[in-house]
Amino acid sequence: MVPAALANGFASVKRGLGGTVGRRDEALCDELKEVAGRLGVRVREETLLREVGYRVRSGSCRVRGEEVIFLDRGASPEERLQVLADRLAVRDVDEVYLSPALRRLLEQRRGARI
């Protein structure tokens, strides 16, 4: 029997205390960060601090008129990929080269938002 991660085309590696990190997720995250830069969106990876009473999470906002996507360094590659894909799926990327896998991902995220 083929593990689900491999059946879906994901190569995974063990890291740290038994956590699994998808190499494909990391590669797509890197590509999305490059695409974001070409679209004029700044991506910042930061350790988002948590305090009692509120929950900080990855997302986008405008800082001094510039669109910025903040990614929590503590988030998994899958979570960071989801945030980037959700934020960029609504943008016009027709004029930007995307790998076929990334184009499919953004089309799926775009369809999920409708």
Tens digits of residue pLDDT in 26-60: 999 999 999 999 999 999 999 888 777 777 889 99
**% of the chain at pLDDT higher than 70:** 80
pLDDT band at 12 (very low <50, low <70, confident <90, very high): very low
Residue-number span of the structural domain to which 79 is assigned: 25-113
76 located within any domain: yes
5 located within any domain: no
pLDDT of residue 54: 75
Measured CA to CA in angstroms, residue 18 lies from 14, 15, 21, 45, 80 at distances of: 6, 6, 10, 23, 19
Q: How many domains does the chain fold into?
A: 1
Query: What is the DSSP secondary-structure string of 50-92?
Result: -BTTB----EEEEETTEEEEEEETTS-HHHHHHHHHHHHHTS-
Closest CA to 23 of 3, 46, 47, 6: 6
pLDDT of residue 113: 65
36 located within any domain: yes
